[in-house]
Structure 1
Amino acid sequence: MAFLYIGALLVSLGCMALLDRRFTLFFWADARRASIVLVLGLAFFLTWDLAGIGLSIFYRGETDFMTGILLAPELPLEEVFFLALLCYLAMNLFAGAALLLNSTVRREGRS
């Protein structure tokens, strides 16, 4: 059970990639730009987490579903995958919303 949470995160990341591929949203639209955005977002949130940990605001929760591997005090391995999923989801939602908005505008322009 120690790898259940990270497994769920990896499955979710895989699903994000499938949606991205199907609708050409983020990485399949422009892999270079998507990589830069994802790395910058991940770096921002990891810095945020480390600042919160340093200020004793954030603490690691203990659960049997986590690996127990820490990258830094109070920073579990799973946090990196969660933050990557969060960034990927946000960019897929943003690109999907833009795609829907553009298709609606084009459809209304033809009426």
Structure 2
Amino acid sequence: MPGLYLLFLVLSAAGIAALDLRFRLVMPVRPGRAWAAIALGTAFFVLWDLVGIATGVFVRGESPLLLGIDLAPHLPVEEPVFLAFLCYLALVLHAAAGRVRRPRREDAA
């Protein structure tokens, strides 16, 4: 079923966003910095992918779950979406881990 992978990426990102908003981890606290980190991280990894594609390290495998739309040879449209999701997930996990390690101010007093 074409597009299923993209759908699952979007649903996964929505789940992470729900957790982020519920626990006020990243976007509610500093949305500008969060968007900048996601954009810069995604751009870095897309460039990394392009270098890997150019050197023959990365190739696109065939899958019926992909839409079949390529942004560049061997770079499916789902790849930047996955990379943005990965960057967002890393930010949320980092913020959550920091919160777990840090005692709350009212608990510390």
Normalising by the smaller structure, the TM-score range is over 0.9
State, as a whole percentage, how many aligned pairs show the same letter: 43
Once the 2 structures are TM-superposed, how far is the Cα of residue 5 of structure 1 from its aligned partner? 0.5
Distance 2:17 2:105 in 1: 27
Provide, for residues 21-51 of structure 1, a one-character-per-residue CA deviation record: whole Å limited to 9, x for no partner. 0111111111011011110100110010001
What amino acid does structure 2 have at the position aligned with 1:37? Answer: A
More helix by share: 1
> In 1, distance between residues paired with 2:85 and 2:48?
16
CA offsets 1:64-101 (integer angstroms, 9 cap, x no match): 01100000010000101110111011000000001111
Instruction: Provide the residue aligned with 1:41 in structure 2.
Output: 41
Unaligned stretches of 5+ in structure 2? none
Indicate the residue corresponding to 2:100 in structure 1: 100
Amino acid at match of 1:27: M
* Cα root mean square deviation, aligned: 1.5
Normalising by the residue count of structure 1, what TM-score does the alignment of the two structures yield? 0.92
Secondary structure of the structure 2 residue equivalent to 1:103:
coil
Which residue is 1:18 aligned to?
18
> How many residue pairs get matched?
109
Q: TM-score, normalised by structure 2?
A: 0.94
Aligned to 2:103, the other structure's residue is in SS state helix
The runs of at least 4 consecutive aligned structure 1 residues that moved more than 3 Å come to 104-107
